[in-house]
Amino acid sequence: MSHTLDFLGGISAEQFLAEYWQKKPLLIRAAMPEIDGLLHPDDIQALALEEHVTARLIKQKDKDPNQWSVKSSPLSKSDFQKMPQKWTLLVQAVDQYSLDLSALWKKFPFIPQWRRDDVMVSYAPKGGSVGQHFDFYDVFLVQAYGQRRWQLGQMCDENTEFVPKQPLKLLPEMQVTFDEVLNPGDMLYVPPGLAHHGVAENECLTCSFGFRMPDVASMMDRLSDHYADTASLKTPLQDVLRLQSNPVGKITATELEYLKNILIQQIQQTDCLDAVIATLMSEAKYPDNIPEPDELAADDLLEVIDVGYQLMLEPASRLLYIESQGQTQFFANGEALNVSEELTDLLIQIADGEILLLDTRFQAEEIREDLAQLLNDAILMLYTAEEE
């Protein structure tokens, strides 16, 4: 039975998915009050200067605000000298550097983990913006600090024209249908393709919880890579049955049908295709953010069982699973995992977003060996309450 959620403004997840998801925007006041004060502008600017962080510095010229410039990471302190009045700093994957921010993904249990992109944080002084634009993914814009005015407009698509000779894909005009100022904790859902424009009312931070779908070209490319690495598929095919001669320059309809059917048969091998898709969906978007933990042996875990450590998914990693014919197969960071049956139920809970106490459930040797490998590969992480 569905129940209403304050996070969604008093409607149920089912109602949100049926009426708003990928259809129309929704503004929810005080949807995420716990984000207020979680981040500070100085923290975001300092993070943008770190080595592996992906960030962009966007500036508008004082004399002509219609002229934009973009500097992508790595950024240095010198990039922030002689700044114009209007500028914006975009920092990607901030959820991978903050456990508190990462924990807020739990607000979205009605959207699967494989759809998650990252949490981008936008900092801007008064007047700062990235211009009128649209995205091809779902985003929940949550105000974390200060105020930002959001305007929404028309639906756009791949045929929409952009302002020429600019480093950003900016819309030349926007038919404004929504105009509201968001305060800390307020959230605005923007579906794919909807034009939007956010301008800082004062010094502010906005968190963008993004959900992205894969494109067909990427899935086909991954499938092609898999087949290219399969030795049994590199043997030339048998020729089509030939009952008559044809012009030597012609590929006949019979020949084309024969070759297409061979390809279709390969693609329709469900288990293979499932694994290829799951591998792609489990890839980490920012693999450089995955840490290199200290090496652990299975016996080392005996010393920390039942002493307060907790197990969770490493924020920079992805852990997914599929179920087929009573079997569960796990995938993490672009690889299939071999996991003992004893660990399966516990690992499903972690993949589903739960944090588990490292207790006697993990004491068996087979479980400890698998768990040590998952920790050494930074798919999972151990932490204590003091680290929260």
Mean pLDDT of 280-298: 92
Distance CA 216, CA 338 (A): 28
State the chain's mean pLDDT as an integer.
Answer: 93
Question: Which of 97, 49, 43 minimizes the C-alpha distance to 316?
Answer: 97
Residue 211 per-residue DSSP state:
E
Indicate if the pLDDT at residue 388 is higher than 60: no
For the chain, domains (ranges, CATH) are 4-211 (2.60.120.650), 216-268 (no CATH), 290-383 (3.40.366.30)
pLDDT of residue 326: 85
Indicate if the pLDDT at residue 361 is higher than 80: yes
pLDDT of residue 178: 97
- Asked if residue 382 lies in contact with residue 303, where contact means CB atoms within 8 angstroms, the answer is no
Question: Which of 199, 54, 61 minimizes the C-alpha distance to 131?
Answer: 199
At 337, which helix (H) or strand (E)?
strand 335-337
Share of residues in the chain with pLDDT > 90 (%): 80
Share of residues in the chain with pLDDT > 70 (%): 98
Distance CA 287, CA 52 (A): 10
Beginning with the edge strand found earlier in the chain, give each strand of the sheet holding 356-357 in spatial order.
356-357, 310-313, 380-383
Residue 94 per-residue DSSP state:
G
Q: Which residues 6+ apart lie within 8 Å of 85 measured at CB?
A: 60, 62, 125, 127
pTM: predicted TM-score of the whole model, two decimal places: 0.91
- Asked if residue 64 lies in contact with residue 32, where contact means CB atoms within 8 angstroms, the answer is no
Indicate if the pLDDT at residue 206 is higher than 70: yes
Distance CA 373, CA 352 (A): 20
pLDDT of residue 1: 44
Indicate if the pLDDT at residue 142 is higher than 80: yes
Question: Which of 189, 182, 179, 197 minimizes the C-alpha distance to 146?
Answer: 182
Taking only the tens place, the pLDDT of each residue in 100-141 is 999 999 999 999 999 999 999 999 999 999 999 999 999 999
What's the N-to-C CA distance of the chain in angstroms? 34
What b/e string do you get for 10-25 counting C-beta neighbours within 10 Å, with b at 16 or more? ebebeebeeebbeeeb
The SS3 of residue 336 is strand
- Asked if residue 153 lies in contact with residue 188, where contact means CB atoms within 8 angstroms, the answer is no
Measured CA distances, 87 to 24, 123, 182, 257, 301 (Å) = 29, 9, 19, 57, 49
The SS3 of residue 279 is helix
The SS3 of residue 92 is coil
Question: Which of 293, 295, 277, 184 minimizes the C-alpha distance to 222?
Answer: 277
